Amino acid sequence: MCMDDIMRKWPETIAVLIRHGMLCVGCPIAIYHTVTEACEEHGVDEDAFVGELLAAIPV
């Protein structure tokens, strides 16, 4: 799933991205970047990041 889809489906995740310095909101690449690619691009630990994303998504 691309970053744009994640932010649109679960806007609560945007705060997680911002905390990690990932300025994916409004970025034209967000429609292409997967979580893995975004983490690599921004030097963010993917496992920790995914855990935070999942915690932010309402059940």
User: What is the per-residue pLDDT across 11-28, written as a single tens digit (0 to 9) for each?
Assistant: 999 999 999 999 999 899
Residues 6+ positions from 32 with CB-CB distance below 8 Å: 2
pLDDT of residue 29: 94
Q: What is the DSSP letter of 57?
A: S
In this prediction, residues 35-41 reach a mean pLDDT of 96
pLDDT of residue 27: 92
Q: How many domains does the chain have?
A: 1
In this prediction, residues 40-59 reach a mean pLDDT of 96
Q: How buried is residue 13: exposed, middle or buried, by Cβ count under 10 Å (0-12/13-18/19+)?
A: buried
In this prediction the pTM is: 0.89
pLDDT of residue 59: 84
Residue-range definition of the domain harbouring residue 12 = 3-56
